[in-house]
Amino acid sequence: MITRVLAPGLVAACAAPPSPGPSPADSDTDIPHEDCTAPRWVGAWAASPSDVTEPLGGQTLRLVLTPLRDGDTVRVRLSHRFGTEPVELGAVHLGTIDTGAHLLPETIQALTFDDVPAITLAPGEVRTSDPIAHTVLAGEPLAVSVHLPGAPVALTRHSLAMQTSFSAPGAAGPSASGDPFTETRTDRPLVMGLDVLAPGHHGVLAAIGDSLTDGDQAGSGGVDADTRYPDALARRLQALDHPLSPINLGIAGNRVLADPLLPRFGPALRDRLDADLLARADVTDVLLFEGINDLGIPPTATADEVLDGLAAVVDRIHAVPGRLPPRVVLGTLTPAGAATGLYVGHALAEPERQRVNEALRRGAIGDAVVDFDAAVRDPDDPTRIAPAYDAGDGLHLSANGYAALADAVDIPSLRGWRCAD
C-alpha cells in the first residue's frame, strides 16, 4: 500500500507515527502522463441512486440541483437503476432557477436523447442527454423538468437531496412559472448527473461516503443551503482556479459492507462501487469517508472488518483498467460519542472507531489521509464533536462542521491529471 504524511497542520493534532516517506508512485517520473489536449466531459454535479419513490405519474417533476463547477456545454444523466417497470418520459427540459420553482425564461431548453425528445426508460436503464449549449455556473441552481405522462411508476431516486424539488399536475415542464408547482419534495428522482465539457486538464474529485458526505444536518437546517462538505470544498477549489472539482457520491445511512437497514440507505458501497464510481472516466481522485455506520448500525462490524472492506474498495479503485488509477484519500471517522437515541450504537462503537482511525493515520490503506476526526472533535472530549460543529444529534455536523471538513483537505495532495507536455 502507498502511504503518505498527513495534511499540513494536522500531524500534531493526530499524534500520528512518522511517515515512511513518499512512495515511488508519488514521483512524476513513475506516473504515466495523459494526453490533455482535447476537451473532456467532467462531472459538474452527481448523485448516487439509493432506492425508489412512491409511484409517480400524470405530472411534471421540477428537480433542482446545484452544480459545483462552471461550463457552457452540458448533458444530463437520468437513471432508472432500481426501477421494475418502464417509465415514459414525455419531455425533459433544463433551465436555470430564478426563485423557488420559477425559472429564468431565456434559459429553458428541451433535452433530447439520440435526437428524440420523448423516451421510455427500461428497468435498470441509464440515459444521457444529447449535449446542449447552456451556461452553468457553480453555485447557481438548475432545474431539470421531467414530464411523466403515463400511469404511476416507482422511480429511482436519491433519497436525501438536501434540496427542495417540486411537482405540478400535467405537462408544465416548458413553463418558466413556478406557480403550478405546488407540491414539494426533498428527495430527487431520476436525475443523477450533470456533465460539462471542460479543458482536457480538468478532472473530478469523487467524494464517496454516507450521510456525512450527503450533508445531513439532522433536522437543524441545511436544506437548499448547499453546505455539504463537497460544496464547501468546491468553493475552495474554485477560489484557487483549481482544475479539479468535486462530485458528491454520498448516500445517507450507507455502509461499506452490509446491505441497507432501510432501502433509502442504498446498496452497500462494495455493491454500488462499479456503477457509481468505477464506470466514470472523469475521476482522478477519490475521497473515501465511510465506515461509521458499519460500526454503529446492527448487525455491526468490527474495526478489522471495516478496514478489510475499505482496503478491498481501494484495491478495486486502483485496479481501474485502461488508464492511470485514481488517487484515493481516506477520511478518518468523525466522533459519535455523544450520539443517543437512534444513533446510540455509534456512541457504543467508540473503541472500534479509534482502531479504524489509528490504522488510517498509519497509512495502512490508500494513498493519503485527511484527518476529519481531528478537524471537528471537541478538544476537551475527543470522543465527541465540538459543540460548534455538532448538528445536535452527536453524529452529524452543522454547516460549520462540514466547512471544517472541507478546510481539512490538503489540496496539494490531490493528483489530478498528469498531462503530457
- 58/260 Cα distance (integer angstroms): 31
Check if the beta carbon of residue 372 is closer than 8 Å to that of residue 334: yes
What pLDDT, on the 0 to 100 scale, is given for residue 79? Answer: 98
Sequence-distant contacts of 338-343: CB under 8 A, at least 24 apart: 338/383, 338/384, 338/385, 338/390, 338/394, 339/296, 339/393, 339/394, 339/395, 340/393, 340/394, 341/393, 343/296, 343/393, 343/394, 343/395
What pLDDT, on the 0 to 100 scale, is given for residue 31? Answer: 66
Nearest to 108 by CA among 145, 59, 74: 145
- 77/298 Cα distance (integer angstroms): 34
Tens of pLDDT along 316-372?
999 988 788 999 999 999 999 999 999 999 999 999 999 999 999 999 999 999 999
- What would the mean pLDDT of 192-213 be, rounded to a whole number? 98
Nearest to 303 by CA among 347, 256, 353, 255: 353
- Say what the alpha-carbon torsion angle 398, 403, 404, 409 is, to the nearest 10 degrees: 140
* DSSP string of 330-370, one letter each residue: EEPPPP-TT--GGGHHHHHTHHHHHHHHHHHHTT-SSSEEE
What pLDDT, on the 0 to 100 scale, is given for residue 13? Answer: 32
- 294/260 Cα distance (integer angstroms): 10
Mean pLDDT of the chain: 92
What pLDDT, on the 0 to 100 scale, is given for residue 32? Answer: 75
Distances in Å between the Cα of 402 and the Cα atoms of 112, 225, 230, 407 are 37, 12, 8, 9
Tens of pLDDT along 291-304?
999 999 999 999 99
- What would the mean pLDDT of 182-202 be, rounded to a whole number? 98
SS3 content of the chain, % helix, strand, coil (to 5): 25, 30, 45
Angle between helical axes of 399-408 and 229-239 (0-180°, round to 10): 50
**Residue 22 pLDDT > 80, yes or no?**
no
Report whether the peptide linkage leading into residue 299 is cis, meaning its omega lies within 30 degrees of zero: yes
- 250/50 Cα distance (integer angstroms): 10
Residue range 11-31+201-413 forms a domain whose CATH class is alpha beta
What pLDDT, on the 0 to 100 scale, is given for residue 9? Answer: 30
- Sole residue written with cell 462499479: 274
Helix (H) or strand (E) holding 327: strand 327-331
Strand-pair partners of 195: 43, 75
- 128/292 Cα distance (integer angstroms): 34
What pLDDT, on the 0 to 100 scale, is given for residue 219? Answer: 77
HSE (side-chain half, CA atoms, 13 Å) at 376: 35
Helices (H), 2-157: 11-14
**Residue 53 pLDDT > 80, yes or no?**
yes
Helices (H), 178-268: 211-214, 229-239
- 78/228 Cα distance (integer angstroms): 23
- 111/117 Cα distance (integer angstroms): 6
- What would the mean pLDDT of 30-37 be, rounded to a whole number? 81
- What would the mean pLDDT of 132-147 be, rounded to a whole number? 98
pTM across the whole model: 0.92
- 23/413 Cα distance (integer angstroms): 13
For CA atoms 329, 42, 185, 107, give the dihedral sign.
Answer: positive
HSE (side-chain half, CA atoms, 13 Å) at 418: 16
**DSSP 8-state symbol, 410:** -
**Residue 408 pLDDT > 80, yes or no?**
yes
Strand ranges in 25-152 using DSSP code E only, listed in sequence order = 40-46, 51-56, 59-65, 71-79, 87-89, 91-96, 109-111, 119-121, 126-128, 132-136, 142-148
